[in-house]
A and B are shown apart, each in its own frame.
Chain A
Amino acid sequence: MSRIGVFVCHCGENISRTVDVEKVAAEAGRLFGVAYTCDYKYMCSDPGQNLLKKAVAEHKLEGIVVAACSPRMHEKTFRNAAKAAGVNPFLCEMANIREHCSWVHEDRDEATAKAIDIVTMMVERVKRNKKLQPITVPVTKKALIIGGGIAGIQSALDIADSGHQVVLVEREPSIGGHMAQLSETFPTLDCSQCIMTPKMVDVVNHPNITLHTYAEIEAVEGYIGNFQVKVRKKARSVDMAKCTGCGVCMAKCPQKKIPNSFDKNLGFRPAIYVPFPQAVPNTPVIDRENCTWFKTGKCGVCQKVCGPGAVDYTQEDEIVVEQVGAVVVATGFQLYDIGPKPAGSAIEGYGEFGYGTIPDVIDGLTFERLASASGPTGGKIVRPSDGAEPKSVVFVQCVGSRAREKGISYCSKICCMYTAKHTMLYKHKVHDGQAYVFFMDARTPGKGYDEFWRRSIEEEEAVYIRGMVSRLYQKGDKVVVMGSDVHIGVQVEIEADLVVLATAVQPREGADTLAQKLGISYDKYHFYSEAHAKLRPVECATAGIYLAGACQGPKDIPDTVSQASAAAAKVMTLFARNELEREPIVAKVNERFCVGCLACRKVCPYGAVEEKEIRDRSGNLIKVVAYVNPGVCGGCGTCQATCPSKSVELDGYTDEQIMAMIEAL
């Protein structure tokens, strides 16, 4: 190919400030095979693109190099423009003279020389580019949602309402997540159960939603539009088809004193249980670790009393395989466990707060259960140690959050607001009680949020003390809070009846393992990473996988629901098409030279390489070679670098092209 056009962009001043763009265009014009060059202030704008289209027509261009920003930014834009001008889009390439050049250099002459080099290399590459056709893959219009908190529920309902099938997988016996545990919710103080449980019922009744509770993701294979997911449904020991949810088994089970983790262990449950009365589905599970039958082979009471005969001790884990086209990950968060430092953890503990040893030091979620009308105390706020009504309560914010020296530097975002809420709930129930709050900053951005916080101070008379707490200790039946008030520069001590710690929001235990199964990335704290912090906040870098809720970063309910609906909208956009176009930058095996060592299969991070048998007409096996499934290939080129016989190459990145680019330097 020998008629190439080079279009050099100023990017406002982003490039032209350090690179002499006119010189780059002039030098490019001297290159063998370049038929046209120009420069323009904003190449990506409408006039810029028209410039390109006009030049193609006037100069009969056969290949295009746009010297501008990163291909991640505008490759698509310019390839579309090329296509509109009648040039195969894969004959259009970007020479990145912004991120790789003007932004990182200061010296104008050197930067200009480098920009010329970059353009020269891309010209050599485009000369050797082949016309490629996009690959199409079919789309399975069924979505998998992992996690049944408010995020997963919202996404599931939105997608199901649009007419598509949804599979919702929840690890616990019931959906609902944290929101089902909350009492009333900021900023309006509406009852969490009242707004949550109807949605849970909608999920179980929705004709388009298949619900797997007490289930986990075992394995995920495939790619956008075509995932195969293995779901392990843990043995419930109760037949869901037969159980009517009457609850007789729970009433008769002799094991009554098992701490209920849903109630933060303040209340008890039997061995056959639903975590809370409004659970969805309302089918109990047997907790085999605590069930007498499973421990000793005796008992069997629940089976005897169950009218429909639903109790089944022989049930085993079941693996269900689902074919889906998109995945929404909504596994939520957990609260930081504030005990002493766990062995091997990068995050320091808070042994000095005595959480776990001083009974009246609790976390925010425990306070929610105490304040909840459906909680273990029926909504009466009492001290765990002796059941007395606490007359002074100290709330401590930022425990674990924003504490670099303890290992977590981020802000947990929700605790300022829920602590303000806690002081209100407390004052509403204990009129003569006094709430104190130790805080570093009050972070209340959000509609109606600052007003809410002010109300806790001005109307509910919470005393806010700006400073940190260093230690908590038991003194008689009080908990002494040692802290500082930085506004007046003194150390303060408060003898409290109850201390509530607003502990850091962390991703769920096992978030990393799930991410590895899905092939998505996560940050050092194990929050899942979005593809772009600003412009692609609900998509993973892995195509076809979306994020919703607190698994991506600390979030309150309004933010969680917004993101969940956004993720659902992305899934619906995907499902609006019957076929997907994928970039044809995939590896191809030269079957003549391939020796079938399959070294490529070992290194392929996408699992795209398969074995292929080559047979003659009468069906005799001639040889085995590698085959790259174009739908799965991620175009990373690892196989190309590995192949000892040089028989696998990436379209658009052949060895010949790369060598030509190097030689052009």
Chain B
Amino acid sequence: MTPAKNILNYSYYPGCSLHASAKEYDESTRGLFKALKIGLHEVPDWLCCGATPAHNVDELLSLSLCAKNLELSNQVDGDLAVACAACFSRLKVTQHRLAENEEKRHQVAYALDAPLALDKPVKHLLEILATDFGLDRLAAAVQKPLSGLKVACYYGCLLTRPPDVPELDDCEDPSIMERVIGATGAETVSWSHRMECCGANFTLSRPGVVLKLSGEILASAKRGGADCIMVACPLCHGNLDIRQKEIEEASGRHYGMPVFYMTQLLALAAGVSTSKLGFGSMMVSPVSLLKEKGLL
């Protein structure tokens, strides 16, 4: 697609997970944007954002990785679109920290051996859809309304926190996910654990913690009457989807709760072919749910 035909154009930072364990997030994002005629152009040669490990062991390393990515993103026109909640958080935190701290700015510039170029606006897909593209246009693009599907929108820890950094929505009481998926006709449930931690990368070092925390999230979604959970983070997805069976075994409760990436549901509603949405790679299969709702 040539940029001229698009309504909006973005540079795109997929991040490591979207090239590996969260391929379906990447595919469905591309599918959705194509259907909405929003240009998405991957930044060449991007690096890992450093994720949680980098900033835990070396702040300078973490800031430098993200600063490098921001510099690289200038090769492509358009604000920087980010899908993964963790990459989004790291990039935003870097802009924030470096804006307020001159000494760190000097250190990072020294580490990169180049002048800093940090100004490109970093936007999460949610913000692009809700604000730049607009909910009205999104609703108008729906070909297969998700009416009848009860969705628990799960924000996790990073999308809106810390208070002054992501500037995506109210930090503790957001509604942007609900508004975006609501545009497809889906019903969003009100539930208690949408902002609680899933256990994140303790999934490797202390899986017991994750089984407990993610288990509470699944239980709360069920209590709220949800058919499925919608996420915007590969790590949350892993904990809620891949670990779901273990959680069920440990707690003796059955959930059978499909966990979708937001773009899987949105692309489905926008009429993108289901073969491009990666439903097959979900551990908790959504097939029977989607069939039941007449969406497959």
Partner-B contacts on A (CB < 8 A): 340-341, 348-352, 405, 470-471, 473-475, 480, 482
Contacts and interface: CB of A to CB of B under 8 A. Distances in A.
Interface in B143-182: 163-164, 170-173
B192 interface: yes
A348 B172 CA distance: 10
B293 interface: no
Contact of A351 (B164, B172, B192, B223): B172
Contacts of B196: 471, 482
B164 A405 contact: yes
21 contacts: A340-B170, A341-B170, A348-B163, A348-B170, A349-B170, A350-B173, A351-B172, A351-B173, A352-B173, A352-B195, A405-B163, A405-B164, A470-B172, A471-B192, A471-B195, A471-B196, A473-B192, A474-B192, A475-B223, A480-B192, A482-B196
The B interface, classified by DSSP as helix, strand, loop or mixed, is: loop
Given A340-B173, A349-B173, A471-B195, 17 more contacts: A341-B170, A341-B173, A348-B163, A348-B170, A348-B171, A351-B172, A352-B173, A352-B195, A405-B163, A470-B172, A471-B172, A471-B192, A473-B192, A474-B192, A475-B223, A480-B192, A482-B196
Contacts of A349: 170, 173
A629 B172 CA distance: 56
Contacts of B173: 340-341, 349-352
Contacts of B170: 340-341, 348-349, 351
B52 to A, nearest CB: 20
Per CB-CB distance, the 6 closest pairs between chain A and chain B, nearest first, are A351-B173, A473-B192, A352-B172, A405-B163, A352-B173, A341-B170
Nearest to B223: A475
A123 B136 CA distance: 73
Interface residues of B, number: 10
Nearest to A472: B192
Interface of B: 163-164, 170-173, 192, 195-196, 223
Which of A348, A473, A480 is packed against the most chain B CB atoms within 10 Å? A473
A8 B205 CA distance: 73
Contacts of A350: 172-173
A585 to B, nearest CB: 45
Nearest to A474: B192
B223 to A, nearest CB: 7
B232 to A, nearest CB: 19
Contacts of A340: 170, 173
A480 B219 CA distance: 14
B258 to A, nearest CB: 23
Given A340-B173, A348-B171, A475 B192 contact: yes
A483 to B, nearest CB: 13
Contacts of B192: 471, 473-475, 480
Contacts of A470: 172
B44 to A, nearest CB: 38
A350 B170 CA distance: 9
B156 to A, nearest CB: 14
B159 to A, nearest CB: 14
A350 B171 CA distance: 10
Which of B163, B164, B172 is packed against the most chain A CB atoms within 10 Å? B172
A482 B220 CA distance: 14
A349 B192 CA distance: 18
A319 to B, nearest CB: 43
A344 to B, nearest CB: 14
B2 to A, nearest CB: 40
Contacts of B223: 475
Nearest to A339: B173
Contacts of A475: 192, 223
A557 B136 CA distance: 53
Contacts of B171: 348
A349 B163 CA distance: 12
A7 to B, nearest CB: 47
A225 B243 CA distance: 77
A40 to B, nearest CB: 47
Contacts of B172: 350-352, 470-471
B222 to A, nearest CB: 12
A569 B195 CA distance: 54
Nearest to A357: B190
B95 to A, nearest CB: 19
A350 B163 CA distance: 13
A486 B51 CA distance: 28
Contacts of A352: 172-173, 195
B56 to A, nearest CB: 19
A341 B223 CA distance: 27
A409 to B, nearest CB: 14
A349 B174 CA distance: 11
A324 to B, nearest CB: 46
Nearest to B216: A493
Contacts of A473: 192
